[in-house]
Amino acid sequence: MLIISSVWQKTSSAPTFPSLPGDISTDVLIIGGGIAGILTAYFLKQKGIDYVLLEKGRILGGTTINTTAKITFQHGLIYSKLIKSGGVEKAKGYLSANRDAFKEYQRLCSNINCGYEVKDNYVYSTNDEKKLISEIRVLERIGYKAKYFKDLNIPIKTVGAVCFPQQAQFNPGQFLSEISKGLNIYENTFVRELIGTTAITDSARVEAKRVIVCTHFPFINKHGSYFLKLYQHRSYCIALENAQDVNGMYVDDNDKGLSFRNYDNCLIIGGGAHRTGKQGNGWKGLSEFARAKYPGSDVICKWAVQDCMSLDGMPYIGRYSLGSKGLYVASGFNKWGMTSSMVSAMILSDMMAGIKNDYAEIFSPSRTVLHPQLFVNAFEAACGLLNPAPKRCPHLGCALKWNPNEHTWDCSCHGSRFSKDGKVLDNPANGDLKK
């Protein structure tokens, strides 16, 4: 039986850090040891700011190590959506922030052996050429010249694709293994509770002046209404040997479509997305596709990833809420965690240093919540609360559903997941199921 493990887990090894031995104090506490937290710690160290990062397990043990690791400022057909919802300046700001993040990766990766490769990125459609043309026109309005392609190097019939040339891909495990060396990190230190800006772990307290929550899904319910502003998507990946070199990065504009990229001698195919807690096809559809299109290939890795989806397609970066003092957040990366994490680290480290960041207002978590997705999230939460199923999520009490593909208990309200024996796997739940 093929063990569930990403190709990045098999090709990288993160340094180890001690658990927190006792009570400490710090200027800035970062909670969460994924790419957003580690990059934020890295920049704080560069700025000479006192910080500590706490991770409940091992660093790189969650979403970051299960990404497809594309470094691009082409996030689906996001710019057409941003023009409609927020206007030209908002779309320009989003593009500019993510281009700056892309350039920072270029700079950092130039000195790190992490499989960094320049590749063109393509967002394709199987049925709607008009929206591709519309995206290209919007991009021209905000100062970027994209390309249109008809013939793509993937085994899917498409009507074309929008191409951003000279984007990049890399191995995130190798990159962060190097970046994290020498950082002030404590592993296996689970923050169970925040009282103001004091973190309570199983064996110690951390007194901080400011706290940055980088826990994928924010776990503090009394501020920010993230339980309504976010929902989670689950999707799946397989890595194939003896398959095609697609010579680029490809993603369907439809959430339920497929993505492609190569790493070393493997072809990585992703897809099968569904709201966490809803019925999904798991790896079955990807395996069937591989057998049909690449009959001589072998699946050497399979894994899954979970993404936090915001209401408007943009991350929440900045003050946790208007009413919370000394509390900050980075979340809602909408399947584009590489550049979004870098944008988060750049904004938050500037905020900690008292430096004005030009993009802070665009990504403010306190921006309007008046989007149709808000009502969908509220409906799902109500259904989860009213469902009489006996197993309940400790986050807000929603019913849990059995996931037969991964043998887990999943929450369709907010995306918490638990192992068969009740151990918490994905937050916002901050504890195991009660026996």
Tens of pLDDT, residues 95-137: 999 999 999 999 999 999 999 999 999 999 999 999 999 999 9
- Topology (CATH level 3) of domain 8-67+174-229+312-353: FAD/NAD(P)-binding domain (3.50.50)
| C-beta of residue 58 within 8 angstroms of C-beta of residue 187 | yes
Tally Cβ neighbours within 10 Å of residue 121: 25
- What is the average per-residue pLDDT within 249-276? 95
pLDDT in tens, 375-394: 999 999 899 988 988 889 98
pLDDT band at 330 (very low <50, low <70, confident <90, very high): very high
Q: Return the CATH number of the domain spanning residue range 372-425.
A: 2.102.10.10
| C-beta of residue 283 within 8 angstroms of C-beta of residue 300 | no
Kindly report, as residue ranges, where domains of CATH 3.50.50.60 are found in the chain. 8-67+174-229+312-353
pLDDT score for 310: 97
Packing angle of the helix pair 78-86, 129-141 (nearest 10 deg): 60
pLDDT score for 281: 84
Lowest mean pLDDT among 61-65, 144-148, 151-155, 187-191: 61-65
Count Cα neighbours of 290 within 13 Å in the Cβ-side half-sphere: 27
The residue with greater pLDDT, 434 or 78, is 78
pLDDT score for 337: 96
- What is the average per-residue pLDDT within 396-415? 91
Kindly report, as residue ranges, where domains of CATH 2.102.10.10 are found in the chain. 372-425
| C-beta of residue 428 within 8 angstroms of C-beta of residue 217 | yes
Answer whether residue 176 shows pLDDT above 80.
yes
Going from the C-alpha of 400 to that of each of 157, 165, 174, 391, the distances in angstroms are 38, 43, 35, 6
- What is the average per-residue pLDDT within 10-26? 95
**Measured distance CA(41)–CA(179) in Å, rounded:** 10
The residue with greater pLDDT, 71 or 2, is 71
Answer whether residue 1 shows pLDDT above 70.
no
What's the whole-number average pLDDT of the chain? Answer: 94
**Measured distance CA(226)–CA(176) in Å, rounded:** 27
Report which DSSP code applies to 334.
Answer: T
Answer whether residue 407 shows pLDDT above 80.
yes
pLDDT band at 61 (very low <50, low <70, confident <90, very high): confident
pLDDT in tens, 335-363: 999 999 999 999 999 999 999 999 999 99
Answer whether residue 240 shows pLDDT above 90.
yes
pLDDT score for 355: 97
Could you write out the DSSP letters of every residue in 39-83? HHHHHHHHTT--EEEE-SS-TT-SSGGGS--EE-S--TTHHHHHH
Beta-bridge mates of residue 10: none
Answer whether residue 280 shows pLDDT above 90.
no
Answer whether residue 238 shows pLDDT above 80.
yes
Answer whether residue 83 shows pLDDT above 90.
yes
Give the H/E segment covering residue 286.
Answer: helix 284-293
- pTM, entire model: 0.95
Answer whether residue 435 shows pLDDT above 80.
no
**Measured distance CA(83)–CA(91) in Å, rounded:** 6
Cβ contacts of 210 within 8 Å, gap of 6 or more = 27, 28, 29, 197, 326, 327, 328, 352
Q: What is the dihedral of CA 130, 135, 138, 143, to 10 degrees?
A: -140
